[in-house]
Amino acid sequence: MAEPLKHPLAPEERVGYALVGIGKLAEEEILPALEASKRSRLAALVTSDLEDGKRLARRYGLPPEAVYGYDDYDRLADNPGVHAVYIILPNHLHEDYTVRAARMGKHVLCEKPMANSVAEGERMIAACRAAGVKLMIAYRCQYEPHHWAVREMVQQGRLGAVKLVESVHCQVESDPGEWRLKRKEAGGGPLVDIGVYSLNTIRFVLGLEPVEVFAQTYATPDDPRFREVEEQMGWQMRFGNGVLAACLTGYSAFRSSRYRLYAEGGWVGLDPAFDYRGLRLSLGREEGGQQVVEERRFPAPNQFALELDHFARCIQEDLTPFTPGEEGLQDLRLVEALYASARTGRPVRLEAPDKPDAFRGERP
């Protein structure tokens, strides 16, 4: 990863973001991340509760007129301090809000999963391209130093060729009313919400795409949470070079997130891997006949700030983001293949591009 800016830019030199959707993530993570960022600043809030939005705005030094209702979303076009929108809405709304932002000439940072179908994702890409605005999917892990350290170790072959990969991402969702459990809104269950981290990060670390996938799902009968979406999924992926990956995700197991790559000369991985903070990288190897297990500790800047600042730099310097819409679209293709496999009980074969990092842009 490139060295970050040593000093923050002055407020007026930064990229102004409108946050679209003020839930827990926006309030607890994104607003503080904007304070910690170096190239980004809060420029507007879009929310269903104007009063609450104004209270929040006041706390972050934003004038009340920078708070918009959803009905007024298109009025962002007139706010020149807003250079980009950050869409933090339920998945089924991503397409509409992206397309409308593009029409306003605003760049779009969109939460993962990009959308609920490949078709939606393709329309988002097309709309942004047509409008000449940038589109980035918020794959936080691809902008974070622990994950980059794993990727570099792997791609430089420091542990020899990777052979096997495992990953788990699970957590307990206890409220049956949660939008994440509604097929129409979420587009799927734990796979699209949290399993996608395993999917995306393995692709990122290897720089490769799977050529065959297989999935099994399960939902406890009569559990009101899992009427529309799977409770859990186990899936496998085979890559062109023979690497086999085994992944698990679920909504009824204790919050855990990890991955590990097993190579000829050692293993390396993160646990926790996908949390907002506290990531840990460990590594197993041999030295002089002894087994060594080591942890490498990194300075750990705010992950959201890194992500926001990458997109800000891409806007300022006219670069393609490292995780553009195409990167998100590839995950959607895989998600569709995994659900198809689970439904049919058969593996699904996929075309893989013939070069590494086929869907990625400028290195962060």
- Report the catalytic residues: 112, 197
Within 13 Å and on the Cβ side, how many CA atoms surround 40?
A: 30
Nearer to a second copy, 97 or 148 (CB): 148
Q: Binding string to a second copy for residues 7 to 46, with x set by CB under 8 A, is what?
A: xxxxx--------------------x--xx----------
Cα separation, 198 vs 250, in Å, equals 12
How many amino acids of this chain bind a second copy (CB under 8 A)?
74
Q: Which is nearer to a second copy, 89 or 263 (CB)?
A: 263
Q: Which of 129, 343, 346, 363 binds a second copy (CB under 8 A)?
A: 346
Look at strands 67-68 and 210-218 and give their pairing. unpaired
Work out whether 342 is an interface residue with a second copy (CB under 8 A).
Answer: no
**Nearest by Cα to 44 from 100, 82, 15:** 82
Question: Is the backbone of residue 232 left (phi > 0), alpha (psi -120 to 50) or beta?
Answer: beta
Among 176, 224, 293, 363, binds a second copy (CB under 8 A): 293
Residues 240-244: contacts with CB within 8 Å, 24+ apart? 240/208, 240/209, 240/211, 240/352, 241/161, 241/208, 242/163, 243/162, 243/163, 243/164, 243/165, 243/206, 243/208, 244/163, 244/164, 244/165
CB of 173 to a second copy, least distance (A): 11
Q: Give the residue, chosen from 69, 129, 264, 353, that forms a contact with a second copy under the rule CB under 8 A.
A: 264
Among positions 2, 3, 24, 59, the unique one binding a second copy when judged by CB under 8 A: 59
Q: Using CB atoms within 10 Å of the CB of residue 136, give its burial: 0 to 12 exposed, 13 to 18 middle, 19+ buried.
A: buried
Nearest approach, Cβ of residue 163 and a second copy (Å): 4
Q: Which of residues 140-179 bind a second copy (CB under 8 A)?
A: 149, 159-161, 163-164, 166, 168, 170, 172
Kindly report the backbone phi and psi dihedral angles of residue 290, in degrees, each rounded to the nearest multiple of 5, phi listed first: -100, 150
Subset of residues 204 to 263 that bind a second copy, contact rule: CB under 8 A: 212, 214, 216, 218-220, 231-236, 238, 242, 244-248, 250, 252-254, 256, 260, 262-263
Binding residues for a second copy restricted to 84-123, rule: CB under 8 A: none
